[in-house]
Amino acid sequence: MELFIPGLVLVALMVWASTKIKKRAADAFEAETIETANYTLRKPEGFLHVLNDPAHELYAYSREFGAGAGSKARRATIEIEIFRSESLADVRNAIKSSATDVEVVRETSSECELETDETANETPFRCFYKIVRSQNAVYRLRFAALAEHVDEYVDRINATLDSFSVRSN
C-alpha cells in the first residue's frame, strides 16, 4: 500500500507529460507565419519548420514520406535561400540549367516564378520557385513535391508562394 499511492502519482505525472509532448509535437505541424527581418512566409499546415538549419535560410518538410522509390524522401519540402552576390537572372538561370523541364509562370524585373521537373537520387520532383530581388540580395523560395503527390499539395503550394514576401532593405 505504501508504494501504491506514489506509483499512482508517478503514472499520473507520466500521462500528463506524455499528453503535453504529444500536443507540442502536433502543434509543430500547424500552419504558422514565419517573420524575419528580411521576409515573411506562411508555412502551411502539415509542415515542420526546422529551426537553425545550417544548409538553408529556412527549411520545412512534410510529415509524410513518399512510397516506393521515393520512400526515403519527404513528400514535400520548403526551402528559402539567400544569394547576396548573384542577380535574379543568375539564380533563375541556375535553376533552368539543373532542371529537366522549366516553365516560366511569371516574370518581372524584381520577381520570377518557375515550375520545374527535377530529379534527385532517381526520384522525380515537381518544384515551384519564387525568386525575389531586394536591394542587397536575391531570395529564392523552393517548394518541392514528389511528382506523384503534387496534386495533394497544390493548394498549399499556391498559398505558400503567394504568402512569401521580401522586405525592402
C-alpha grid cell for residue 128? 515551384
pLDDT at 27: 59
pLDDT at 125: 94
Tell me which residue has cell 516506393: 68
- pLDDT tens sequence across 67-85: 877 778 899 999 999 999 9
**pTM exceeding 0.85:** no
- Provide CB contacts within 8 A for 67, sequence distance 6+: 148
Cβ atoms 158, 81 nearer than 8 A: no
pLDDT at 24: 63
Cβ atoms 63, 22 nearer than 8 A: no
Q: Give Cα separations from 124 to 46, 74, 118 (angstroms).
A: 21, 12, 6
C-alpha grid cell for residue 110? 524584381
The residue ranges of the chain whose pLDDT is under 70 are 1-4, 8-12, 15-28, 169
Three state DSSP letters for 148-159: HHHHHHHHHHHH
pLDDT at 65: 85
